[in-house]
Amino acid sequence: MTTTSFSTNRFNMNRISIAQWFSNTIKTPLVASVIAISFIQLAMVAYFGWLSHQSRSESLSRFSEEISLGIAQGNRTLIENAMTHAKVELNAVSITLCQSGKGVLELPPMTNNCSATDSISFLDMRVPIIGNTDFVAQISVSFFREFGLQATAIVAAFSLLISVSLLFLRASRALQRDLVSPLQIDLVDEITLAQNIPTMAVHEVAHIFSDHLAKVNSIRHLAAENERMARLGAVAQVTQMLAHDVRRPLQLVKTTFDLLKKAKTLEQIEKITATASANIGKATAQAEGLISDVMELGAKSEVVTEPIEPSVLIRDAIENVREIFPAAQVELSVDVRTKELVAANKLKLERVIANIAGNAYQALRQTGKVWFVAEDIEQNGVRFVQFSIGNNGPRIAEEDLPKLFDSFFTKGKSGGTGLGLAIAQKIVHAHGGAIWCESGADATYPDGFVVFKFTLPIISIKN
C-alpha cells in the first residue's frame, strides 16, 4: 500500500479571469463582425442608390420633353398625363410644375414644393424644362427610401445571424480549450488528494471518470452541432424567402419599363401603368410586411387596426392562396356565422389566414377539403370572433402540437422555415387574441383532421 502526496500549486497556474477570457476570445471577433456588417450595409445602400439614379436619367429626359411639348401647345391634358406617367414610373411622392418659383400644377394637389432648394438628391430634385427657362419641375421620389432600407434590413438581418452563429461556435471551442480541458486534468489531481488510496486504484478511477466525462462532452457537442446546423438551414431558408419577396417588386418595375418602351399609344401606356401600379403596390406591401414581421419576431409588437368584417378577411386570404396554388383541386367551404366587427390589421391578419390555409393545401397535396368558419364565442365575460381553418389532411402527432408555434420548428414539410406559425401567433397575440391547433379523428373524418383556431376581440355590433 502506497500513498501519494499532492501539491496544490497546480490549481494556481494558467488561470485567467472571466473578463480576460471574454476580451481574448469574444471581443475581437465581435468588433470585427460589427465593422463588417456596417461596410456591407454601406455598400448595398450605395449600390441601390446608384441603380435608382441610373434608372431615372432616361425617364427624366423624356418627362422634360413631354412637359415642354405640352407648354408649347398650351395643352394642359398633355402636361397632366406626362406628370401622371412620371409619378408612376419614378415612384414619386409628388410632382409640382413651377413657373418663376410659383406652383402652377401639382400632383397630388396642394403639394406645392417650389420653395425647395436647387439640388439633386435621392429624395428631391428639380428638373429644368427644355426650351422654357421660366418653368421647372420639382419632383420628390422615394426609390432610395424603399429599396435602400429593404436592402439594408436584409443585409443586417443575414449578417447578424451569421455573425452570432460564428461567435457562438468560436466561444464553444474556446470554452472547451480554456475551461473544460483544464477541469479534466484538475479532476485527476483532486482524486489523488485522497489519503491511503493505492496509486493504481487512483489512476484507474481517474481514467474511468475522465473517459466518461469525455463521452458526455462528445454527446453534448454533437447535439449542439446538430441544433446549430438545423438553425443555420432555417436561417438560409428565411433569407431566400426574404430575397424572393424583395426581388418581386423590382422585377415588376423592370417588366413595366420594358412594356412601356414597346407601347405605341397613350391608351396602351395607361393600361400598362394601371395594371402595374396595383401589382407593384401589392408586392411592395407584402415584402415590407414580411421583413417587418421577421425583424420584429423577438420584439414587442404593435399593430394599427381598423374595424373590419371577418368575411372580408377570409375572402381576400382565399384569393391570395388561390394565386399561389392555381392548379389545386381543393373543395372549399366558408361558413360565416357572425355579423360582428373585429379590430384588425387587414394585411397582417390576411397573412395569418393565408399562411394556415397554404399549409393545409400543402398537407393535402392540393387535393382534399378545406373549410373556414367564423363564429361568436365568449371567454371569461369577453366576446370574441373565433376563426377556424380546417382540413381533412394527415393528423399532427400529439407531442408536436405544443411545438407548432415555436420559431424554426418544422417537420415533414419540404422547404419549410418554421417561422410562419410563429409569426402568426405573434400577430394574433398583438391583436389581443389567442391561437391554437386541434388534430384528431371522428366519425366525419375517420382518417384524421387538422383545425387551427384563433380569436379576435369584438369591437362593436353591426346593424
**pLDDT at residue 346 tops 60:** yes
Separation between Cα atoms, residue 218 and residue 214, nearest integer Å: 6
**322 and 429: one domain?**
yes
Query: Is 271 in the same domain as 322?
Result: no
| pLDDT at residue 322, as a whole number | 86
- Judge whether 83 lies within some domain: yes
Confidence of residue 428 (pLDDT cuts 50, 70, 90): very high
pLDDT of residue 1: 47
The backbone torsions φ and ψ at residue 215, rounded to the nearest 5 degrees and listed phi first, read -65, -40
Q: What pLDDT score was predicted for residue 4?
A: 45
pLDDT for residue 149: 55
Please report the pLDDT score of residue 120 as a whole number.
Answer: 41
Portion of the chain with pLDDT greater than 70, in percent: 62
In the listed set 295, 330, 359, which residue is the last one of a domain according to the structure?
Answer: 295
Judgement on whether residues 352 and 323 belong to the same structural domain of the protein: yes
- pLDDT, tens only, 85-139: 877 777 777 888 888 777 777 777 766 667 655 444 445 667 787 777 778 887 7
Shared domain check, 358 and 282: no
Of 49-53, 273-277, 370-374, the one with minimum mean pLDDT is 49-53
Per-residue pLDDT for 5 more than 90? no
* Mean pLDDT confidence for 175-199: 57
Task: Return the pLDDT at 128.
Answer: 80
Flag whether 437 is in a domain: yes
Q: What's the pLDDT score for residue 230?
A: 60
**Cα–Cα distance for residue pair 354/316, rounded to 1 Å:** 9
What are 153-157's contacts with CB under 8 Å, separation 24+?
153/291, 153/295, 154/239, 154/242, 154/243, 154/246, 154/291, 155/37, 155/40, 155/41, 155/44, 156/37, 156/41, 157/239, 157/242, 157/294, 157/295
Asked if the model's pLDDT at residue 199 lies above 60, the reply is no
CA 57 to chain centre: 32
Q: Same structural domain for residues 246 and 336?
A: no
- Please tell me the pTM assigned to this model: 0.42
For residue 69, give the C-alpha cell.
411639348
Confidence of residue 3 (pLDDT cuts 50, 70, 90): very low
In a domain, 122, yes or no: no
27 secondary structure, DSSP code: I
Cα–Cα distances (Å) from 268 to 90, 91, 252, 261, 315, in that order, read: 18, 19, 17, 11, 31
What CATH number should be reported for the domain holding residue 435? 3.30.565.10
pLDDT value of position 13: 43
Residues 39 and 184 in one domain: yes
Mean pLDDT of 327-350: 91
Residues 450 and 340 in one domain: yes
Arithmetic mean of pLDDT, 328-332:
87
Residue 204 domain-assigned (yes or no):
yes
Quote the pLDDT of residue 450.
95
Domain boundary among 241, 262, 295: 295
Region 407-429: mean pLDDT is 77
- Residue 451 pLDDT level (bands cut at 50, 70, 90): very high
Mean of pLDDT over the chain: 75
Q: Can you give the residue range of the structural domain that contains 211?
A: 1-91+142-295
Residue % of the chain over a pLDDT of 90: 18
In 126-265, which ranges are continuous DSSP H helix?
A: 143, 149-175, 181-191, 199-262
263 shares its domain with 310: no
Query: Are 283 and 372 members of one domain?
Result: no
For residue 109, cis peptide bond before it (omega within 30 degrees of 0): no
User: Which of residues 295, 324, 355 is at a domain's end?
Assistant: 295
Please report which confidence band the pLDDT of residue 296 belongs to, taking 50, 70 and 90 as the band edges: low
pLDDT tens-digit readout, 133-165: 778 887 776 655 555 555 556 656 666 667 666
Domain count, the chain: 2
Choice among 132-146, 174-188, 419-433 with the minimum mean pLDDT:
174-188
For position 11, what pLDDT does the model report? 41
Average pLDDT over residues 305-312: 93
Residues 365 and 386 in one domain: yes
- Closest C-alpha among 91, 87, 417 to residue 245: 417
Q: Is pLDDT at 354 greater than 60 in this prediction?
A: yes
Identify whether residues 79 and 147 lie together within a single domain: yes
> Is 89:257 a contact under the CB 8 Å cutoff?
yes
Is residue 445 domain-resident?
Answer: yes
| Residues 419 and 408: beta-carbon distance below 8 Å | yes
